[in-house]
Amino acid sequence: MFSDLFTGVTQNGFKYVGIFLPYLLPLVLGAAAWTSWLRYIRKVHILGLKWTLLQIRVPQDVFKSPAAMEIFLANAFYQTGGVGTWVQKYWLGNVPAWFSLEIVSIEGRLFFFIYTQEKFRPIIEAQLYAQFPQVEVVQTDDYTDMIPTYNKSADWNMFGGEFTLTKDDPFPIKTYVDFGLDKSSGMEEEEKIDPIAPTIEYMGSLGAGEQMWLQIIIQAAQWGRYPDPKHWFKKHDWKKLGQGIIDELKVKQQKPLAGTTSPARTTKGESDMVAAIERSITKYGFDTGIRGLYLAHKDMFKPIHITGLLGLFKQFNSGNMNAFKPVHTTSFDYPWQDFTGNRTTRMKTEILEAYRNRGYFHKPWKHTRAGGVLIERKPFVLTTEELATIFHFPGRVLETPTFKRIESKKSEPPANLPI
């Protein structure tokens, strides 16, 4: 009886497949062809982009707070009009503009770089001089070209990793506002607490034959990627998610205590959280990817600097808000996971090439190997306030000997600066 039932179900299944297959097959093949076309045309577009690396030489005296950097980041990098019409997007392969903010230590000498498409250089320079008239912007050769492709027989070694957030995007990290740098105009230089100082000091402590590269890749956050609980197929952006978190906290605060009609007492932590998220969602947001590399000659490679690299952002972590954590590191927990070292070599080769190409949001750098497994890189959102906290020019409070500043002062930016 069961065999007859199974035979009947099987025959009916094949019957329905035969009926619907002529209609489903074109849809499946069409979707596959469309995906392949988009992958191809976007690759062609990206390969045709012209890039440049700008070195930012910092003056002796930087009296402005990171708020000036925040204004610069918003005006120079929040580019939302680059994709264009549907023809430019789906026929020409246009993708949103992205940029890379980089802090580099080469044997302890510190450098600030911006990697950008050439067409954005006039905008970046104009906005940078508007906020920091005394800086110098110099087009330079790519420092990553000094390092050959990694292989096991190379005379140098490296460790790499990326960073992500521990909580949802609307929860902010500890920013320069929390350190009081937004109200530092009346403070003496030695009284200021600059949160970027530990990062710069540590990177400046490297010795001969050692390098440390820190890369922050950004693009304007314009798309929703969080499921909307009210709609099956709709997604909302990080700001709506943040507003939802605020509404939930406020509803919780208004609920009466058990057995009473009095509302629950708001804790200071909850009030601070609401205020911080409310401030955060009023800012421009950027899809962000962060990675860091430690490189050195094999006889000069110090494993302790792996710990230092992974802890570069500890001072920005907030216990009740958000924090950075390392992911996608070029290592395994146990030696038997990679007896030959080949899997580690592949991971090191991939992260070095991803860094060199400033790739994160698009193929072939949209995926990475973590623990030998290919997974998708997922960007997170940082606001202009958060970005200005982890990437800004330190003031005189930082006296790192290897951080070279411009000796001469400028009274005004160049007269022929493109507008």
pLDDT of 18 > 50? The answer is yes
| Tokens (6 digits) for 368 | 């990475």
pTM of the predicted structure, to 2 decimals: 0.85
pLDDT mean over 132-157: 91
- Residue 16: pLDDT band (50, 70, 90) is low
d(CA 312, CA 291): 11
The reply to whether omega before 364 is within 30° of 0 (cis) is yes
Q: What is residue 6's predicted lDDT score, i.e. its pLDDT? A: 44
pLDDT digits (tens, 9 = 90+) for 221-278: 877 777 777 777 777 788 888 888 888 877 766 666 656 666 666 677 778 888 899 9
pLDDT digits (tens, 9 = 90+) for 179-191: 888 775 555 555 5
CA 164 to chain CA centroid, nearest Å: 8
pLDDT of 8 > 80? The answer is no
pLDDT of 126 > 80? The answer is yes
Per DSSP, the three-state class of 59 is strand
Structure-model confidence comparison of residues 25 and 132, the more confident one: 132
Cβ atoms 125, 132 nearer than 8 A: no
- Residue 78: pLDDT band (50, 70, 90) is very high
Cβ atoms 217, 99 nearer than 8 A: yes
Q: What does the CA dihedral 206, 207, 209, 215 come to, rounded to 10 degrees?
A: 10
Q: What is residue 418's predicted lDDT score, i.e. its pLDDT? A: 41
153 by Cβ neighbours in 10 Å (0-12 / 13-18 / 19+) ranks as exposed
- Other Cβ atoms closer than 10 A to 331: 14
pLDDT mean over 67-92: 81
- Residue 403: pLDDT band (50, 70, 90) is low
Q: Is 49 left (phi over 0), alpha (psi -120 to 50) or beta?
A: beta
pLDDT mean over 368-373: 72
Structure-model confidence comparison of residues 150 and 81, the more confident one: 150
pLDDT of 120 > 90? The answer is yes
pLDDT of 405 > 80? The answer is no
Q: What is residue 278's predicted lDDT score, i.e. its pLDDT? A: 92
d(CA 399, CA 53): 26
pLDDT digits (tens, 9 = 90+) for 163-218: 999 999 999 999 999 988 877 555 555 556 789 999 999 999 999 999 999 999 99
pLDDT digits (tens, 9 = 90+) for 289-348: 999 999 999 999 999 999 999 999 999 998 889 999 999 999 888 788 888 888 889 999
Q: What is residue 408's predicted lDDT score, i.e. its pLDDT? A: 47
d(CA 305, CA 130): 37
Q: What is residue 140's predicted lDDT score, i.e. its pLDDT? A: 95
Q: What is residue 245's predicted lDDT score, i.e. its pLDDT? A: 86
| Tokens (6 digits) for 233 | 């197929």
Q: What is residue 188's predicted lDDT score, i.e. its pLDDT? A: 58
Cβ atoms 362, 287 nearer than 8 A: no
User: Percentage of the chain with pLDDT > 70?
Assistant: 78
Measured over the CA atoms of residue 404, residue 407, residue 412 and residue 413, the dihedral's sign is negative
pLDDT of 3 > 60? The answer is no
Domain layout of the chain by residue ranges: 33-227+236-390
What residues are paired with 411 via a beta bridge? Answer: none
Least confident of 109-118, 225-234, 270-279, 409-418: 409-418
Cβ atoms 293, 306 nearer than 8 A: no
Cβ atoms 202, 394 nearer than 8 A: no
Q: What angle do CA 34, 117, 62 make, to 5 degrees?
A: 140
